[in-house]
Structure 1
Amino acid sequence: MVVTTARTRTRPPAGRGGRFRALVREARSWPTILMIGLCLLAGIPLTIALTPDQELRILGQHISVGARTPDLSLEGPARLVQIGNTELDIPRLQVVGPLRPQLEMGPVQRNDDAARVLNPDTTAEATAQAVDQLRTGFVNWYLLATLGVVGTALAAAALVGCARVLGILRREKASEHVTVADVWHRCSGTIGRMSLLAVTVSLVAWGVCGALAYTGTMRGLAQVSSLSDLVGSARVTPAPVGPPVFGYAGAVIGDSRAARVGGPPVAGPEGDDVACERSADSLAAELGTMIPGRVRNLACPSATVAQGLRGPQQRGNVQVPAQVALLKQMQDLKFVVVAVGPNDVGWSDLIKYCYGVETCDDNLTRGEFDYRMAAFDRDYAALLEDLAALPSKPRVVVMTSYDAFPRDTDPACPDARGPSYAVGLTQDKIDLLTDRNDQLNAVLRAGAEKYGFAVADPGLTLLCSPGTDGLGPDLQGLTDPFAFHPTAVGSLRLAATVARVVGPLDD
C-alpha cells in the first residue's frame, strides 16, 4: 500500500516557467518529433486530398473550388479541370508547398448569366462578382480544411500517446502495483502537451501553406491579361498545302450546304471535286456568276472545323487536305465565304432522334448538345484566327445556319410527319430545333463580330411553308436524296444573299 500511495502522489502545480520548460522538453522527445513529422508529412496532404470541394454557381456555370491532390514536388501549378479538357495545368500560377488551388467546371452553359460578362455595360460588375464568389468559395474550403488539420493533429497525438502508454505498461508489467490509471495519470500531462504541440505546429504549417498559395496565385494573376496568358496556348495553325494558286477572286469553305450535294457534277472535275461531291450549281459556282472573277469551291460534305476546315478529312479512300491549308495557297483573294456549324454539333443526329421519339428535349441530349457547342466554340475561335491571319486579308463572310421548318409548321405536312414508321415532328420538337439552331447562330455571329467579319443570313423558303413563288422548293425534302440540303433554287438564293454581303470588289 505504501508503494501505491507513493506512485499516485499528486505533484504541486508548476508555474508558467515550469510548464514552458516541460513543453520544450516534450518538443525534443523522439515520440513527439515523430508525431510532428506525421502531422506535417501525412496529416496536411491527407486533409487536402479529403476536404470536399466547394460547389458554386458563377455566371451561370457550375464550378467547384478546392485544391489538387498533393504530390512529392516542392512547387507546382494550379489546375483547371474541365469536362472534355480533362486536367489542364495553369503554368502562370506556380505555388510553393502542397496547397495548390484547383477549379473544376464544364461543360460551358450558355444562359443570361453567362451573357452578362460579354455585355460591355455589365462586364465589370459580373467579373467583380465572379472574383468575389471564387474568393469566398476558396476561403470556405480553406476554413473547412483547417478543421481537418486540427482533427488529424489530434488523431496523431492520440495515436502516439496510446503508443507511449502501451510502452510504459509493457516495461512495467512485472509490477503488480502499476495500473492503467496510474500510467494514464503519469502520462496525461505528456499527452496534453503532445496534443498542444501537434495542433500548434500543424496550424502554423497550414497557415504558411495558405500564405504561399495566396502569394503564388496573386503573383501569377498579376502577369495575366487574357485567358491564353492564364492557361497557355497550344494552337497550331494548318500548314499550307500544294503550290500557290492564282486567278481566283474568292473561295468558299464549309460543308455539304456549300458543296451542294445532290446537284449535277462539275464539268471537268479537279482536285477533290469528285470525292467531295461538289455540284456545278454550288454556292461557289453561283457566286461566280454574280461577282466578277472566279470563285473556288473548297467545301466538302460532313466537314467540321476540326476535320475538314482546319484538319484533313477522310472521304472514302481519299484524304482531303484541310480547307484552310488549301486556302492559304490562294493568292490575292478578295473574299472568303464560311459555311460551318451543323456538323460540329451533330445536327443530323438530333433531327433523326426527334423524328423517332415522342419527345427529344431530355436532359441527356441537352447535355450532349451543350458539350458539342462548347467544343465548337473553341474550334470556331481557332478557325476565325486562321482566317484573320490570311496574308491577302480577304473579306470574310460567315453564313449562318438556316432553319429546316418555320415555327408554325403544320404537323400534318409530309416532311414534318416523316416516314410511316416515325413518330414525326410536333410543334414542340420544331421549337426545340429552332431554339438550338438560334444558339448555334449566336455563336457564329458573336465570333464574326469579334473579328469584324461580315455575316450572311440565308433567306430561304423552309419546308412546309405555305405557298411558293413558283420556282420550286429551296430545300430538299424527305423524299429527296439529301433532305434539308439546298436545291438548285436554294443554292441560287444562298449565293444572292452572300453576294449582297460581299458587295463590290476592289480592283
Structure 2
Amino acid sequence: MRPWLRRIPTLLGYAAAVLAVAALSVWLSVRVTPLQTVSPAGQTVQVGAATPDLNMSGPGELELFGQTIPTQPRFEGPIRPRLKLTHISLNAQAGALTKSGGAQAAGKDLSEQLTSAWTRYLLWETLIAIGFAALIAVAVAGIRRSSRASMLWMLAIAVTSVFALNALGVYLLASATPAALRQVRGIEDLVGPSTPTPVQAVGTPAQPGVEAVVIGDSTAAAIGNAPLDHPTTTDTACGRSKDAYALYLAAANNWNILNLACSSATIRDGLLGPQQRGTTQVPPQLSAAMGAGKASVIIVSIGANDIHWSTMAALCAAANACDDRASTAYFQQQIAAFTTAYYDLLSNVAALPQHPRVLINEYYNPFGENIDCLKDQNITTDKAKILKSRLDQLNSVLRQGAQTFDFTAVPQHFDGHRLCSDQPFVQGPDADAPLHPNAAGELAIALADQQALSRTRTPTSTPTPSTGAAAQNTP
C-alpha cells in the first residue's frame, strides 16, 4: 500500500476532530453570546440565535412573557434568530407613530434595528466561537505537550475551521435571515395574527358612573357562592355572586364597580370575543368595559380556562400519574397558545383611552400539605405538586406579561386556608364549584388587590347619586 494511502485514516481522524471542535465551539458560543438589545417604538427586544439544530429551515424562537414559542416567519439555515420581548410602552409606541411617516416609519425602524442587532450578534458569536476553539486547541496542545510550532499550527487550524463552519452555517445557509427580518414591521408579525381589529364598545351601554371594572372568569364571578340579590339573565348565566371580590372592593373604596366576569370565560371567548352561556350570549367583556370611560381601575382574572386547567386536574385525578410526556406536551401547547392570546388582551387593555391602573390577579394554590380530604378523588401528594407546578407556570406568564406592559401582578396566597384545612378559602371537592374560592377566599383576593392598590396609585373618586358601595352593573 502506498504511504499516502496509509495516512488516510489518520487524516480523516484529524478532520473529524477538527470538525468536532469547530461544532462544539459554535454550539457553546450560541449558548453564551449575549443577546443584542434594541428599543424601537417603545418595544424592547433582545436578539440572538436559537440553539442550532440539524434542520435546514424552520421558525425562529420568540420568548414572550417567559414562554418560548415559534415565530411566524420561517428562516433558512441551522442557525435561526431568537428574539426576547422584555418591555412594551404603548405611550412610546404612540409617540413613534405620530412622527413623520407614522406607522410605516415605526415599522421600518423595527425591521432595521432587528437586522442590525442580528448582524452584531453574529459578529460577537463568531469572535466568541473562535475564542472557544482557541482555548480547546491550546488545552489539547498542553495535554499532548506539543511544541510551540505544533500548538500554533493547531491554533490556526481550529480558528480557520470555526470561521469556515460559521461562514457556512450562518453567512451562507442563513444568508436570507436579514431579508426575513426586514419584513417584520411589528411584534404581531412575530407572534402571528392578533385581534383582527381593536376591541370597541359596540352595542354596549355607557357606564359613566363606574369607577372600577373587573373582567375575568369564574374566580372573579365567584361561582358557587350566594347569587346576587337581583340578578339579570347575564348574571345568572355567568354565575356572578354577591360574594365576588369585586363587591368587597366596592364596599372598601366606595366605588361603583362593574363586575363583568363570567364562568368559563377565556381570552378569546369571553374577554375579547362574545361568550355563549347556554341560551345567553354574553358580549365581550372588554367591549362592555369600554362603556365605563371614567373607570380608573381594571382588574383582570384570566388564564385557567385558556389552559384547560380544570380538565387537566380531572384527568390527573383519574390517571395513575399526570406528569407523563403526553400530558406535559399538551400543557406546554396550551400555555404557548395562552401566551399569544394574553399578549392580545394586554395590548387592548393598554390602549384604553382612560389609561386605568391595571391589576392582573395571579391564581392561588388550592392544595395544602394535608390533602386527606381528596383521597376519594385520587389526588395524591405527588399529583398535587404537579398541578401546583402548572399553576406556577401560568402565574409566571401572567406576572411577566404584567411587568412587560407596566401593569401590576397580584399574587394570591391562601396559606393555612387551603383545601382540607380547618377554615379553607376554597370550596371542597363535593361543592357545586370545586376548587373555586368560597366567600372567605373571595375576601382574601379582595384584600390582596387592595394592598396592591395602596402600594401604587390609588384612584380618587367623587361619589355621585348613581354610585354605590356595591353597584350591580351588568352589560
Query: Which TM-score tier does this pair reach, normalised by the shorter chain?
Result: 0.5 to 0.7
How far apart are the structure 1 equivalents of 2:183 and 2:193? Answer: 15
Encode CA deviations 1:217-257: one digit per residue, 9 max, x unaligned.
43453575764456775542223231322111101110001
| Structure 1 residues 306-385: aligned runs within 5 Å | 306-385=268-347
Q: Which residue is equivalent to 1:66?
A: 56
CA contact (8 A) 1:239 1:325 kept: yes
Q: Which residue is equivalent to 2:418?
A: 463
> RMSD in angstroms over aligned alpha carbons?
4.0
Cα deviation for residue 404 of structure 1 reads 1.2
Cα deviation for residue 270 of structure 1 reads 3.5
Change over 3 Å in CA distance of 1:464–1:320 after alignment to 2: closer
CA contact (8 A) 2:426 2:435 kept: yes
How far apart are the structure 2 equivalents of 1:455 and 1:232? Answer: 25
Partner AA of 2:252 in structure 1: M
Q: Tell whether 2:62 aligns with 1:101.
A: no
Cα deviation for residue 260 of structure 1 reads 0.6
Secondary structure in 1 aligned to 2:208?
coil
How far apart are the structure 2 equivalents of 1:326 and 1:248? Answer: 12
Secondary structure in 1 aligned to 2:339?
helix
Aligned pair partner of 1:238 in 175, 199, 207: 199
CA contact (8 A) 1:313 1:322 kept: yes
Which ranges in structure 2 are unaligned for 5 or more consecutive residues?
Answer: 1-26, 32-48, 63-68, 88-116, 130-169, 462-475
Partner AA of 1:238 in structure 2: V
Aligned pair partner of 2:121 in 101, 115, 128: 128
Q: Which residue is equivalent to 2:430?
A: 479
CA contact (8 A) 2:427 2:436 kept: yes
Partner AA of 1:432 in structure 2: I
CA contact (8 A) 1:335 1:502 kept: no
Q: Which residue is equivalent to 1:418?
A: 376
How far apart are the structure 2 equivalents of 1:238 and 1:441? Answer: 25
Q: Tell whether 2:398 aligns with 1:444.
A: yes
Secondary structure in 2 aligned to 1:492?
helix
Encode CA deviations 1:148-179: one digit per residue, 9 max, x unaligned.
xxxxxxxxxxxxxxxxxxxxxxxxxxxxxxxx
| Structure 1 residues 7-46: aligned runs within 5 Å | none
Encode CA deviations 1:105-161: one digit per residue, 9 max, x unaligned.
9xxxxxxxx9x95789xxx99x9379959xx9xxxxxxxxxxxxxxxxxxxxxxxxx
Encode CA deviations 1:26-60: one digit per residue, 9 max, x unaligned.
xxxxxxxxxxxxxxxxxxxxxxxxxxxxx999878
Q: Tell whether 2:362 aligns with 1:400.
A: yes
Encode CA deviations 1:330-389: one digit per residue, 9 max, x unaligned.
120110110011111111111112211221110000000000000011000111111101
Secondary structure in 1 aligned to 2:234?
coil
Q: Tell whether 2:463 aligns with 1:501.
A: no
Change over 3 Å in CA distance of 1:245–1:80 after alignment to 2: same
Q: Tell whether 2:248 aligns with 1:286.
A: yes
Secondary structure in 2 aligned to 1:248?
coil
Cα deviation for residue 65 of structure 1 reads 3.8
Q: Which residue is equivalent to 1:389?
A: 351
Partner AA of 2:309 in structure 1: W
Cα deviation for residue 425 of structure 1 reads 2.0
Change over 3 Å in CA distance of 1:403–1:103 after alignment to 2: farther
Which ranges in structure 1 are unaligned for 5 or more consecutive residues?
Answer: 1-54, 69-78, 94-99, 106-113, 137-209
Cα deviation for residue 81 of structure 1 reads 11
Change over 3 Å in CA distance of 1:367–1:62 after alignment to 2: farther
Change over 3 Å in CA distance of 1:64–1:462 after alignment to 2: farther
Instruction: Give the alignment's TM-score, normalised by structure 1.
Output: 0.58
Partner AA of 1:128 in structure 2: Y
CA contact (8 A) 1:65 1:104 kept: no
How far apart are the structure 2 equivalents of 1:260 and 1:266? Answer: 11
How far apart are the structure 1 equivalents of 2:77 and 2:201? Answer: 39
CA contact (8 A) 2:299 2:361 kept: yes
Q: Which residue is equivalent to 2:181?
A: 221
Q: Tell whether 2:242 aligns with 1:276.
A: no
CA contact (8 A) 1:475 1:487 kept: yes
Cα deviation for residue 87 of structure 1 reads 11
How far apart are the structure 2 equivalents of 1:130 and 1:230? Answer: 23
Question: Which one has the largest radius of gyration?
Answer: 1
Structure 1 stretch displaced more, 224-233 or 330-339? 224-233
